[in-house]
Amino acid sequence: SNLSLLILPGDGIGPEVMTQVERVIDWLGDQRGLKFDVSRDLVGGAAYDEHGVPLADETMAKAQEVDAVLLGAVGGPAYDNLDFSVKPERGLLRLRKEMDLFSNLRPAQCFDALSDFSSLKKEVISGLDIMIVRELTSGVYFGEPRGIQDDNEGGRVGVNTQRYTTNEIRRVARSAFELARRRSNKVCSMEKANVMESGILWREEVSWVHENEYPDVELSHMYADNGAMQLVRAPKQFDVIVTDNLFGDILSDCAAMLTGSLGMLPSASLGAPMENGRPKALYEPVHGSAPDITGQGKANPIACILSLAMALRYSFDQGEEAARIEKAVEKVLADGVRTGDLMGPDGGTPVSTSGMGDAILDALSES
């Protein structure tokens, strides 16, 4: 059966990078026989302009039906003064919330041709390939009670609550163990069980899932502060890292910067399996709508193209085609093809967004 894909280019450079992704999708159809049912719709400011809301109900319903959603980016200066309830990012938040995407996958991968880009020594990051799994729908960003109150002594108190249930921890742990089985079979779970009750429960429940369901996977535990240190000191010791929403937010940004530009970083957000066995899924580059370079042909489409590769691997069981795309990206980088964001101060002439697309399609055709 065809693979159904909803494409939401969004705002700013979103549509520009998505155009290059669509060329890759067409290539997969023509040359590899992968037939997608592609539909396109609006999200963010683009949806607000059309419907007065950053995500129309029909778009939300469509997102619930398809095998995967691929999103570009949302937001931009034109929408900065909108009411909070209709801001572009609310469109993205609605998708995440209603699809219940609790598992956020952020790979940190080093392309050797870019290893000079890292602030770390080449031998520390060369060949790096790790995956951070961040719990995305619970924890301190959502826990109740929350708010700012008077403290009865003339001051105020800001309150947030870190709260995790057994089920919330187990389901994200399962998603990390599943991933590990497809990779190097190692999971490191990070929390602060030394000082947090939720950390104690986190450690117990991850261990429970391990013993009862994934004893074949190697599991270790680490305090998250030590984890941050180890990520910078010796990141290659890790394969899959699983952690909560707050620590995951910080650790995934930290890991991402081990390897270079925002324009290179894909992500996936997964939920529970649907009737066809595939997880609910949203794929998107980590970067935003980059208003400073919008409309200038400068955007790097690689993050979005690698997000498509993640969709092929995790939603469509096409790991081989995913690897083909990743190899093509590796090859063009090794050949010295660079968008502006991948150039050092002394770099040569950058290629345009479509120039990068051309190079990747050429590399795919040679593969």
Residues 46-105 that bind ligand NAI (CB under 6 A): 73-76, 89, 92
Closer residue to ligand NAI (CB): 29 or 77: 77
Closer residue to Mg ion (CB): 15 or 248: 248
**DSSP state letter for 349:** P
**DSSP state letter for 160:** -
Does the active-site annotation cover 358? no
Tokens of 60: 């939300």
Q: What H or E segment, with its residue span, contains residue 106?
A: strand 103-109
Residue 16 as a binder of ligand NAI (CB under 6 A): the answer is no
- Cβ pair 252, 235 in contact under 8 A: no
Does the active-site annotation cover 30? no
Tokens of 243: 């952690």
In the three-class reduction of DSSP (H, G, I as helix; E, B as strand; rest coil), residue 268 is classed as strand
Closer residue to ligand NAI (CB): 13 or 206: 13
Tokens of 94: 């609605």
Residue 62, annotated ligand binder?
A: no
Does the active-site annotation cover 249? yes
Please state, in angstroms and rounded to a whole number, the distance separating the CA atoms of residues 21 and 15. Answer: 10
Comparing every residue's Cβ against ligand NAI, the nearest one is 288
Least Å distance between CB 76 and ligand NAI?
5
Contact string (CB under 5 A) for Mg ion, positions 241-260, x = contact: --------x---x-------
Exactly one of 100, 141, 223, 236 is catalytic; name it: 141
Exactly one of 26, 49, 151, 253 is catalytic; name it: 253
Please state, in angstroms and rounded to a whole number, the distance separating the CA atoms of residues 178 and 185. Answer: 9
Residue 344, annotated ligand binder?
A: no
Counting residues that bind ligand NAI (by CB under 6 A) gives: 22
Residues 292-321 that bind ligand NAI (CB under 6 A): 292-293, 299-300, 303
Closer residue to ligand NAI (CB): 93 or 232: 93
Task: State the amino acid at position 242 in one-letter form.
Answer: V
Exactly one of 11, 192, 244, 283 is catalytic; name it: 192
Please state, in angstroms and rounded to a whole number, the distance separating the CA atoms of residues 103 and 190. Answer: 15
Residue 197, annotated ligand binder?
A: no
Tokens of 59: 């778009």
Residue 25, annotated ligand binder?
A: no
Least Å distance between CB 121 and ligand NAI?
25
Task: State the amino acid at position 343 in one-letter form.
Answer: M
Please state, in angstroms and rounded to a whole number, the distance separating the CA atoms of residues 329 and 318. Answer: 17
73 binds, among ligand NAI, Mg ion, none (CB under 5 to 8 A by kind): ligand NAI
For strands 186-191 and 218-223, give the pairing.
Answer: parallel
Neighbours of 286 (CB within 10 A): 18
Residue 15, annotated ligand binder?
A: no
For strands 129-135 and 103-109, give the pairing.
Answer: antiparallel
Task: Give the residue, chosen from 263, 266, 271, 357, that forms a contact with ligand NAI under the rule CB under 6 A.
Answer: 263
Least Å distance between CB 262 and ligand NAI?
4
In the three-class reduction of DSSP (H, G, I as helix; E, B as strand; rest coil), residue 69 is classed as strand
Comparing CA positions, the residue from 16, 18, 13, 12 lying closest to residue 40 is 18
Which residue ranges are tagged as binding site for substrate? 96, 106, 134, 225
Which residue ranges are tagged as binding site? 76-89, 96, 106, 134, 225, 249, 253, 288-300
Interface ranges with ligand NAI (CB under 6 A) = 13, 17, 73-76, 89, 92, 262-263, 284, 287-293, 299-300, 303, 341
Interface ranges with Mg ion (CB under 5 A) = 249, 253
Q: What residues act catalytically?
A: 141, 192, 225, 249, 253
